């Protein structure tokens, strides 16, 4: 079993490295109007945003320039959250085109998930603020006081829709719920949506673990059990391969499931009900399958047929629920389309292999039945129709 699990263990780091995000762009190449210059910058990793700033230690202020691509009909926002790491409590600067078509910037404190955005004071002083729109991107310029003269602060950034000249909301999935982190205005270090220990990083790990386990290894294990057992030369190797594959999938899948629960507990006010409920059902059914192995009757036991029916029904249910939930996860994470297309290709390939093996194994089974029937008739009646005994005269 350890030997069989090794390929899955070896391939996981490769898959993780492929799925994990890289820095959005090199912020050092960006320039600003009026020859503005800043001491430090960070590529924030999600929403293709960058933050530039100069920190003034003498008076605890920072000149900032936040830039993010967006359609002219939408808005962008950058915020400092003095009390938390998310949207609630965020002191934001929002840039958008108002009802007259002019680029404007307002300040607003988000105290709930259904805000009525209007220009208002923040919990810290904003000495200046302005915005511009150029080359498909908004840029917010501001000079702000760092509250309590702290240099490491939670930051949030966003992009969304405008209606009637007022920001009204944003997408509640993908990068739009991962756009938060922290920035040390003194050292320049930043933990953002693309950072090593960031929420987006962990969400991607959650997605990869579940896609590899429930969505790939589990179906492979089912294919092994259904088709290899037909080949006499594969007995009992098929059983050990099947058990190793499913146990590997279960261990990896439980890790991804546990990480998903942790991420869910951190998402205050955001719940993906169907994704969560299917995940809980998957874990429960898969756990039943694992414990069912301990109660597996012998082949000659009269209850074995009932165990087989249960084992097959639960197993196929896990496969169907797995694939459905993985696609729900794709909709939530909203990664590059190539990853969804890659998974579709994998599932289609496994389906094609199963289709071919179904035809091949049925042909083998029918041929064996035909031979068994011939042997039965030959044994009962003989080759000349008089049974297995020689005909004796009177």
pLDDT of residue 393: 43
Q: What is the mean pLDDT of residues 207-232?
A: 91
In this predicted structure, what is the pLDDT of residue 385?
Answer: 46
Bigger pLDDT: 378 vs 349: 349
Q: How far apart are CA 191 and CA 194, in angstroms?
A: 8
Q: Residues 287-315: what's their mean pLDDT?
A: 86
Q: If we measure between CA atoms, which residue out of 295, 294, 276 comes closest to residue 284?
A: 276
**The pTM is what?**
0.52
pLDDT (mean) for 165-174: 76
Report the binding-site residues for heme b.
Answer: 206, 242, 275, 311
pLDDT at 389 over 70: no
Tens-digit pLDDT profile for residues 17-43: 444 443 334 677 899 999 999 998 888
Distances (CA, A) of 394 to 91, 209, 391: 113, 80, 10
| Average confidence (pLDDT) over 208-228 | 92
pLDDT at position 324: 94
Give the mean model confidence (pLDDT) for residues 228-234.
86
User: SS3 of 198, please?
Assistant: coil
Token couple for 254: 């439980």
pLDDT band for position 302 (cuts 50, 70, 90) = confident
Q: Please report how many Cα atoms fall inside a 13 Å half-sphere around the Cα of residue 359, on the Cβ side.
A: 5
Structure-token pair, residue 228: 């290899």
pLDDT at 313 over 80: yes
The CA-atom distances, in angstroms, between 299 and each of 245, 247, 307, 313 are 22, 22, 10, 19
Q: What angle do CA 43, 193, 142 make, to 5 degrees?
A: 50
Q: What is the DSSP string of 42-54?
A: EE-SSTT-EEEEE
> What percent of the chain lies above the pLDDT cut of 70?
83
Can you say which residues are annotated as belonging to the binding site?
A: 206, 242, 275, 311
Question: Residue 45 region, left (φ>0) first, then alpha (ψ -120 to 50), else beta?
Answer: left
pLDDT number for residue 174: 66
pLDDT band at residue 200 using 50, 70 and 90 as cut-offs: low
Q: Does pLDDT of 323 surpass 60? A: yes
Q: How far apart are CA 193 and CA 180, in angstroms?
A: 6
Which pLDDT score, from 0 to 100, does residue 24 have? Answer: 34
């Amino acid at each position: 079993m350890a030997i069989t699990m090794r390929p899955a263990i070896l391939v996981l780091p490769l898959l993780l490295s492929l799925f994990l995000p890289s820095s959005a762009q090199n912020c050092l190449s960006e320039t600003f109007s009026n020859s503005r210059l800043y001491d430090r910058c960070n590529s924030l990793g999600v929403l293709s945003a960058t933050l530039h700033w100069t920190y003034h230690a003498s008076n605890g202020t920072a000149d900032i320039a936040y830039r993010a691509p967006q359609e002219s009909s939408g808005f962008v926002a950058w915020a400092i959250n003095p009390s938390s790491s998310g949207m609630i409590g965020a002191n934001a600067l929002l840039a958008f085109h108002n009802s007259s078509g002019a680029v404007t910037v307002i300040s607003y404190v988000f105290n709930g998930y259904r805000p009525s955005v209007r220009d208002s004071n923040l919990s810290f002083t904003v000495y200046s603020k302005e915005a511009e729109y150029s080359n498909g991107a908004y840029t917010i310029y501001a000079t702000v006081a760092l509250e309590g003269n702290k240099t490491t602060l939670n930051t949030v950034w966003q992009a969304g829709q405008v209606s009637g000249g007022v920001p009204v909301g944003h997408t509640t999935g993908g990068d739009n719920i991962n756009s938060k982190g922290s920035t040390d205005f003194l050292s320049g270090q930043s933990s953002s949506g693309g950072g090593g220990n960031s929420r987006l990083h962990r969400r991607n790990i959650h997605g990869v673990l579940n896609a590899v386990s429930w969505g790939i290894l589990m179906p492979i294990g089912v294919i092994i059990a259904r088709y290899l057992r037909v080949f006499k030369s594969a007995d009992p190797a098929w059983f050990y391969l099947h058990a190793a594959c499913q146990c590997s999938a279960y261990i990896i899948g439980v890790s991804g499931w546990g990480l998903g629960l942790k991420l869910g507990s951190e998402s205050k006010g955001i719940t993906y009900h169907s994704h969560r409920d299917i995940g809980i059902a998957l874990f429960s059914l898969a756990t039943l399958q694992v414990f069912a192995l301990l109660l597996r009757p012998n082949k000659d036991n009269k209850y074995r047929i009932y165990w087989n029916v249960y084992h097959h029904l639960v197993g196929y249910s896990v496969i169907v629920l797995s694939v459905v939930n993985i696609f729900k996860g794709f909709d939530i994470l909203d990664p590059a389309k190539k990853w969804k297309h890659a998974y579709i290709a994998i599932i289609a390939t496994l389906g094609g292999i199963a289709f071919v093996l179904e035809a091949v194994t049925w042909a083998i089974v029918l041929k064996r039945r035909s031979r068994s029937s011939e042997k039965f008739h030959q044994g009962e009646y003989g080759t000349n129709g008089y049974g297995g005994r020689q005909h004796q005269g009177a």
